[in-house]
Structure 1
Amino acid sequence: MKRFKKIIGITFIILITGVCIIAYLNYPKLTILTGYSAKNMSSSVFIANRSLEYTDTNDNNFDPVSFAEDSINKNKKTAIASVFGLKERKAIYREGLGSVLIDENFDENAPVLVPNRTIINTGLSYPYGELEQKDTIFSSVDYKKIDDAITSIFDTGVEKIKKTRAVLVIHKDQIIAEKYTDGLDKTSKLLGWSMTKSILSTVYGVLEKQGKVDINDNAPVQEWQSDERKNITIHNLLQMNCGLEWDEDYGSISDATKMLYVDADMTTAQIHKKAIHKPNEYWYYSSGVSNLLSGILRKQFKSYQEYLDYPYREFIDKIGMHSMLIETDMAGNFVGSSYAWATVRDWGKFGLLYLHKGNWNGEQIFNPDWVDYVTTPSPTSNGDYGGHFWLNAGGFYPDAPRDMFSANGFQGQRVFIIPSKDLVIVRFGLIGDAGVDFNTFLKEVVSAIH
């Protein structure tokens, strides 16, 4: 018995020592780690209506985030995370604005403006209304092949490798396949992560149609006017080839992680970076650029309320994406790089808007040639990137159509748009290409439509 207790004691000491070593080695990162955990927990509980337990088990269960201990206060709508009491971070939820990480200077009781939303009941079936679609069977579609392809990217039994949460396939405006993992359904809101960048790009497309912005104009950034950065255009920012320094690394303390989990105003992080290349000569993916564009967007309006209302009034609510919420930072800016939530079906509507070249049931939301713009490869991107959309022009997925383009997000969030097949495919999950063979999946779905 004594021997057994000794073994247990030694094992316990080893475990505690190991945890302490991990905590020590990652201490500089704890602010980012606990910030991620608190923010994600708050959004999952108060936007998506999922429980703390569900979020800990599914969304926050990867290392090193899993070391964080979370708590929520449903009455105050707050979430707090720490690691053994260290580096405690707090996120609060505000109706209409979503969740935001706060610092000690933030006034939680200050009054805030929120977007005005308009919900239109059209009396039509999905996707143009709130009613269920009428069953339509296409003789040109091999439904079993599509179902098999979808099943292949979901985990079975106890395995947790592919981590797909939801798939939606729309052909000729009809849902032809839809599947969710346990605990989620068509009403569940899911975070698009960097698919938000494509939402932001679309707002610029709407502004352009209305004659309120010229994307070829120089970016209105006061800090750049006395050096070579003054020649950077909005177009350069949308194509992510502005030539500015940036570190988009989510495994370390980087420009991207400091912006998302430390900065009060996320629109300024990219502003203060030096030029290391000339515009239009070097492509580099930067979430800082997207949030800078959100800040430039804010400058297009005379009031903050107009800024908050515009994306919803002129685009999101017009196409019935009523579940969508774009979260704001402490300074009140839309986090255009990362934080848009919506149901899978509403993300599907976004894909359809591009499939129909900006026309939504007869109303032109943005000019048809905006699709040509966002699908034109950015120089030096190897045909992989356009105007805040990912492209397959360079054959990244060799067995998928070259005309395919997509909104992509962290952990494999995807809205694939395939004009040649009149097809939109939405996939949500907790891992991307490292766990899912998207090339084979796309190949199988596309080949099932004749």
Structure 2
Amino acid sequence: MSALLFAALMLPPPAGAASEDFDYFEANRTLIRNGVQAVLMCNGLFTSGRSLEQVFDQELAYMERVGGTVGTAAGGDYTIDSERRMVGVGSDEARIRAVFRTGVGCVVMAPHQTPDDIGGLPELKMSPPAGDPAAIDWPDGDRTGPPVLDGIDAAALNAASDWAFKRESAEQVTVSLIVLRGEDIVHERYAEGFDRSTRTRTWSTAKSIAVTLIGMLVDQGRLRLDDSLDIDWLPAVDHPASDPRQAITLRHVLNMSSGLYPVDSFDLEYATGSGLAYWAGASSAAGARRRGLIREPGTFWDYENYDTLVAVYAMKQALGDEKTYREFPRRALLDRIGMRNTLVSTDRFGDFIFSSQVYTNARDLARFGLLYLKNGVWNGERLISEEWIEFVRTPAPATLDSGTEYGGQFWLVPDGRSDVPADAYTTAGNRGQFAIIVPSRDAVIVRRGLDYGKQGFNPWDLTREVLKAFPPPAD
């Protein structure tokens, strides 16, 4: 299908024409609404260690905006099995359960599954890295001394912190803020009910962690940016070489310009696509590979969770076996830079949902940002190449005509914005999850949120406020 024809199909019908005014996805939306609540309740209780009241007040506050329907769980349509660490929401065929599994956090089950199926769900039993983090100096551990503020305006830094926490909009809920200058933590603050051990969902900040792991394989020559992904697309065809999706490269999917049919936009995010994998037990890997090509790869930017998950599937294929794949995030990255509190969740098939479903704390995200600030080197060892860092910071070619705000699974300073350094770049996740790297000011800024509603938190405004406390940049 040509891009012109696809665009025509997306136009509203002409005046007077019949319209499709029945929501044929309502059954899906019901499953997903129940699943959102089950997963967030399960992780809130058993991954984050928060109370049910806290989960209802904050994690689930945004449910009023999902499909225009208030969540049902706070009204009593749920069950909690503390022994199994399982939450169920909804009734009959629309009931969705999520259960905590060791090493991966909460896994969502399919509607037809029962507690008898828990034993078959994936888990990761790996020993923690050696040593007590409380006795290991930051950043490898958590032992810190008083902040070293030489040259930093403490009053301005505290004002920036108040700016982040004391929002005029009740929809912007900052739960943690960490500011680094070089390796040093110069500011750390938590909202009531949170501390440095509290894990919360990264949402799409997970994509930046995924691209880091993928970059390691590119650096090793096990994946190539501009080669065909050469994966088993679905549905299978008799002559795979003739499938036009063979033209899609790793660069295309990491730049969110695969050309594949959109399933997370045009009001379908909570009706189909990745929503069914995130919240209703569908296969994330199968769904990602089951989209047809509608545009020439690399020519159109469209933010799709499944583009990331196609890349993650290619990573899995490159790693070769299930055990290596399941252990790879910890062995290659997390354990090596002290991200001990980070859980990478999977779907029920064992595939990482690396587009959203990672749970971590603010300090671990600060370590992640610090790895990029240190240009990919940790304790003298290069973990990611300078070339890969340059790739993730380079505007996606398909964005050049519409504003160069997106690179390779990282977000960039918008065109025309002159109040923050142009070399800054950031992770970004729903509800306000940011790890902002500012190389020219030797700074990392981590903000975690539980935002809801339409008034999103702006990371570049935060960057502007924090950098007011830093010494002027060198000439």
State the TM-score bracket (shorter-chain normalisation): 0.7 to 0.9
TM-score (norm 1): 0.88
Deviations 1:206-245 (A, max 9, x none): 1122332222221122236322111111111111111111
Aligned length: 423
- Shift of residue 117, structure 1, vs aligned partner: 4.4
Task: Give, in angstroms, the shift of residue 265 of structure 1.
Answer: 1.4
**What SS does the corresponding residue of 1:153 show, helix, strand or coil?**
helix
C-alpha distance in 2 between matches for 1:327 and 1:102: 13
Structure 1 SS opposite 2:398: coil
1:194 matched to which residue of 2? 204
Task: Tell me the amino acid that sits aligned with residue 89 of structure 1.
Answer: I
Against the structure 1 CA distance between its residues 258 and 427, is the aligned structure 2 distance closer, same or farther, given a 3 Å change threshold?
same
AA at the equivalent of 2:58 = N
Give, in angstroms, the shift of residue 251 of structure 1.
6.0
Q: Which residue of 2 aligns with 1:160?
A: 170
Query: Which residue is equivalent to 1:17?
Result: none
1:440 aligns with 2:461: yes
What residue in structure 2 maps to residue 228 of structure 1? 244
Aligned to 1:376: 394
CA spacing shift, 1:353–1:156, aligned 2, 3 Å: closer
Q: How does 1:379-418 map to 2 (within 5 A)?
A: 379-381=397-399, 382-392=403-413, 394-395=415-416, 398-418=418-438
Once residues 27 and 385 of structure 2 are traced to their aligned partners in structure 1, the CA distance between those partners, rounded to angstroms, is 50
Distance 2:193 2:465 in 1: 27
Give the residue type in structure 2 aligned to 1:368. Answer: E
Amino acid at match of 1:119: P
| Equivalent-residue separation in structure 2 for 1:279 and 1:28 (angstroms) | 29
How far does residue 109 in structure 1 lie from its aligned partner after superposition?
2.2
Change (3 A) 1:148 1:403: same
The change in CA–CA distance for 1:420 and 1:101 in structure 2 (over 3 A counts) is same
CA distance in 2, matches of 1:365, 1:92: 34
The aligned residue for residue 20 of structure 2 is none
Is the 1:377–1:391 contact (alpha carbons within 8 Å) kept by the matching residues of 2? yes
Q: Decide which of 130, 134, 154 is 2:142's aligned counterpart.
A: 130
Which residue of the partner structure matches residue 158 of structure 2? 147
Across the aligned residues of Structure 1 and Structure 2, the Cα RMSD in angstroms comes to 2.4
**Superposed CA offset, 1:55-104 (max 9, x none):** 11111123135333333111011001127x78221111111121111122
Q: Does the 8 Å contact 1:92/1:99 carry over to 2?
A: yes
SS in 2 for 1:329: coil
User: How far off is 1:319 after superposition?
Assistant: 0.3
Unaligned 5+ segments in structure 1 are 1-24
The CA distance in 1 between the partners of 2:148 and 2:357, in whole Å, is 35
Question: 1:32–1:253: 8 Å Cα contact kept in structure 2?
Answer: yes
Moved more, 68-77 or 174-183: 68-77
Letter matched to residue 409 of structure 1:
G
Q: How does 1:263-282 map to 2 (within 5 A)?
A: 263-282=281-300
1:288 matched to 2:299? The reply is no
1:59-98 aligned at under 5 Å gives the runs: 59-62=59-62, 63=64, 64-68=69-73, 69-82=77-90, 87-98=94-105
Aligned equivalent of 2:262, options 221, 246, 249: 246
- The residue type paired with residue 44 of structure 2 is S
Q: Give the letter aligned to residue 59 of structure 1.
A: E
Deviation at 1:124, TM superposition (A): 4.4
Are the counterparts in 1 of residues 108 and 281 from structure 2 also a CA contact under 8 Å?
Answer: no
Q: What residue number does 1:15 align with?
A: none
Q: Take 1:28 and 1:215, find their aligned partners in 2: how far apart are those partners?
A: 35
* Residue in structure 1 matched with residue 118 of structure 2 by the alignment: 108
**Could you tell me whether the CA contact under 8 Å between 1:357 and 1:369 is conserved in 2?**
no
Aligned partner of 2:12 in structure 1 is none
TM-score normalised by the chain length of structure 2: 0.83
Displacement after TM superposition at 1:112 (Å): 4.5
Residue 160 of structure 1, CA deviation: 2.7
Residues 155 and 161 in structure 1, CA contact (< 8 A), matched pair in contact too:
no
Partners of 2:411 and 2:425 within 8 A in 1: yes
CA contact (8 A) 1:291 1:335 kept: yes
